[in-house]
Amino acid sequence: MTNRITGIKAADVIFVTGSNTTEAHPVMGMYVRQAKAAGKKLIVADPVRIPLAEIADIYLQINPGTSVALTNGMLNVIFAEGLEDKEYMKEHTEGGDELKEFVKQYTPDRVAKICGVKEEDIIAAARMYAGSKKSYIAYAMGITQHLNGTENVMSLSNLALVTGNLGHDACGVNPLRGQNNVQGACDMGALPTDYPAYQKVFNPDVQKKFEDAWGVKLNPNKGLPVTKVIPAILEDKVKLLYIMGENPVVSDPDTEHVIHALKKAFVITQDLFLNETSEYADVVFPSTAFAEKDGTFSNTERRVQRVRKLASVKGECKDDWWIIMNIMNRVGYKCHYDKPEDIFNELRKVTPSYAGITYKRIEKEGIHWPCPTEDHPGTPVLHAKGPIRNGGKGLLKVMEWQPSPETQNKKEYPITLTTCRILYHYHTRTMTDRTRAIHFTAPRKWIEINKDDATEMRISEGEWVEVTSPRGSVFAEARIVDTVQPGVAWMPFHYAGGANMLSDAHSLDPISSIPGYKQIGVKISKVSSKKAKALANKADKEEIMYYANENPNAIRYKEEGVEKLLMEEEEKLLSGAPNLIEMQDKEGEEFTKSQDYMVKEQSLISWCRNDSRKKARKGKAGWLPK
């Protein structure tokens, strides 16, 4: 992020695009709501009618993949009406004349047709954003996870630079990171082209610095981005895959493609829990959780913060740094650290942006990098003296909107599927699905279908459907909604055997190598009644086994012993009877009294769940939490 998280509350205008903020980043979503309640203006652009759209001053329900066109259209209005910051552009940008000439073709009328929104809303959004020097852009993976994701980000940079909304508080271009220490991992060099702090591996001076520091010869060649590692395994270019804190069987595109590669490679996983990827591992290193270790995290606003051990370590789990240190020693690189602070102090010596940050300085409050010296206060706002490029001049980049080839075969795949995150689950559910109440709220995948499309396909709420792309098919329960436009469907990505069975691993953003998770061409069809019954029965059994395996001593389930009881208790359960059940099964085993669960047969009772979109989404539950 160029700016602070809390700066959003000081902004006059907030532009949220490609982010379901209240669900994927609920703390940030709270700040947006607080700002709106304080009278600030809110623009939302997203293909899904997210909760923030309900309170937005302007909501642009754009077609998936049209962000570049929208931004170009807004720039057209800004230049045509003289709303650009001419002084800032003259002093701090280059390429302005070319951009101004280029966006003339992106008239509001043309862009409205591309994006599927009203012409007057595009004009109003442009005027609102350009009308303040405190206009704050917040975006997430709805911008980046496209075949042109890099250009989507650059187009937002154009918007900020042209209006002078960079380099001071309450403005900027602010990506909301998807996980708690993604920023820190990138800072530490967990990228195929970088040493810590984005120092390039192919820069000879940088290479020499790290060779001197570490006393070993280093490879100057770029590595592979994660999305190109899987194909490289299948091409015999990669033999060993070391996976830390990731679950690519669920999170990476084209699941079958990933599994095929994992079966071929020697796979090491290092994680808190066994997951879908661990099933293909040759070696598993159990590692500690955040509350079981000391260290630092760097959050989405570049704030470096202390992490402190609060819980005792169970079993044979070890800290990540300890595991890596021992592996390095065993493969021949001798090194020793006693604690994470030793590693951090080594980092400071070779990383200018972290040089001034010490454990003592961040004992009570974190510091934003860059922080070059120990008397430096940190940098909450980047680019205060102009963009950190070419003498303080930001590049205004001309970008043509191009439709995704993934969604052009409308005859065979008429629906554009977009994926998203939900409030209840985190990433691939490796952690959140172990919490029973969360699992109950969102136990399995579903797909949201526009009500008009559902009528045309004769699909009703709760029915099982088959979703097919060129990569494969998945089965899911249908939820009929008015939050997506006709021709668009939505599916959460968290579930194994779900959305990423359908996504494409081969067509990638040419710059960042990111897959097009947000635009997948699919067809949807209702399954036969026989298939639907089989899928429902399978889901029921999985729910029963989840709770039985989770706490076998407190919950003992035997279907034949509870069926009669359930018929008698159905009315009481639905009317909110006390959540205490004591019963005997046929063999005389007594069910434990439980204040946490009550028994309920899935085929008898339909349970309505209200999610954060305040929609009644019908599901079925086997064991209900109190």
Check pLDDT > 90 for residue 588.
Answer: no
Type and span of the H or E element at 129: helix 119-130
Q: 3-class SS at 479?
A: strand
Which pLDDT belongs to residue 202? 95
Please write the tens of the pLDDT for every residue from 17-64.
999 999 999 999 999 999 999 999 999 999 999 999 999 999 999 999
Which pLDDT belongs to residue 347? 96
CATH 2.40.40.20 location in the chain? 406-532
- Measured in degrees and rounded to the nearest 5, phi and psi for residue 474 equal -135, 160
Which pLDDT belongs to residue 621? 31
Nearest to 255 by CA among 223, 279, 283, 285: 279
Which pLDDT belongs to residue 113? 98
> What CATH class has 182-368?
alpha beta
Residue with the larger pLDDT of the pair 617 and 372: 372
Backbone region of residue 506 per phi and psi (left: phi > 0; alpha: psi in -120 to 50; beta: other values): alpha
Which tokens belong to 31?
């700040």
130 within 8 A of 141, measured Cβ to Cβ: no
Please write the tens of the pLDDT for every residue from 83-100.
999 999 999 999 999 999
77 within 8 A of 123, measured Cβ to Cβ: yes
Please write the tens of the pLDDT for every residue from 267-298.
999 999 999 999 999 999 999 998 999 999 99
Which pLDDT belongs to residue 530? 95
Check pLDDT > 70 for residue 187.
Answer: yes
Which pLDDT belongs to residue 389? 87
- Sequence-separated (6 or more) residues with CB below 8 Å from residue 116: 61, 62, 63, 66, 485
Check pLDDT > 80 for residue 577.
Answer: no
Which pLDDT belongs to residue 570? 52
Q: Indicate the Cα dihedral angle 318, 324, 330, 334, nearest 10°.
A: -120
Check pLDDT > 90 for residue 394.
Answer: yes
Check pLDDT > 60 for residue 620.
Answer: no
Distance CA 594, CA 599 (A): 10
- Measured in degrees and rounded to the nearest 5, phi and psi for residue 24 equal -80, -30
Q: Which of 418-422, 481-485, 550-554 has the lowest mean pLDDT?
A: 550-554
Please write the tens of the pLDDT for every residue from 307-348.
999 999 988 899 999 999 999 999 999 999 999 999 999 999
Q: CB count, 10 Å around CB of 235?
A: 9
Which pLDDT belongs to residue 558? 37
Q: Does pTM surpass 0.75?
A: yes
Which pLDDT belongs to residue 390? 80
CATH 3.40.50.740 location in the chain? 182-368
Average pLDDT over residues 170-183: 91
Query: Burial code of 103-130, b = ≥16 C-beta within 10 A, e = fewer?
Result: beebbbebbbebbbbebebbbbbbebbb
- Sequence-separated (6 or more) residues with CB below 8 Å from residue 532: 463, 464
What is the CATH code of the structural domain delimited by 6-175?
A: 3.40.228.10
pLDDT range class, residue 436, cuts 50, 70, 90: confident
The percent of residues above 90 in pLDDT, for the chain, comes to 81
Average pLDDT over residues 467-492: 96
Residue with the larger pLDDT of the pair 247 and 553: 247
CATH 3.40.228.10 location in the chain? 6-175
Average pLDDT over residues 408-432: 93
pLDDT range class, residue 567, cuts 50, 70, 90: low
Q: Could you tell me how many helices (H) and strands (E) the chain has, helices first?
A: 20, 25
pLDDT range class, residue 459, cuts 50, 70, 90: very high
Type and span of the H or E element at 14: strand 13-17
Q: 3-class SS at 126?
A: helix
pLDDT range class, residue 583, cuts 50, 70, 90: very low
Which pLDDT belongs to residue 601? 32
Please write the tens of the pLDDT for every residue from 100-142.
999 999 999 999 999 999 999 999 999 999 999 999 999 999 9
Q: Indicate the Cα dihedral angle 576, 578, 579, 582, nearest 10°.
A: -130
Output the average pLDDT for the chain.
88
Name the fold adopted by 406-532: Barwin-like endoglucanases (2.40.40)
**Residue 612 burial class via C-beta count within 10 angstroms: exposed 0-12, middle 13-18, buried 19 and up:** middle
459 within 8 A of 489, measured Cβ to Cβ: no
Is there a cis peptide before residue 370, judged by omega within 30 degrees of 0?
yes
Please write the tens of the pLDDT for every residue from 197-234.
999 999 999 999 999 999 999 999 999 999 999 999 99
Amino acid (1-letter code) at residue 321? W
Which pLDDT belongs to residue 582? 38
Check pLDDT > 50 for residue 555.
Answer: no
Which pLDDT belongs to residue 188? 94
395-398 contacts, C-beta under 8 A, 24 or more apart: 395/93, 395/94, 395/95, 396/89, 396/93, 396/94, 396/95, 396/96, 396/98, 396/99, 396/158, 396/161, 396/162, 397/95, 397/99, 397/151, 397/154, 397/155, 397/157, 397/158, 398/95, 398/98, 398/99, 398/102
Amino acid (1-letter code) at residue 527? V
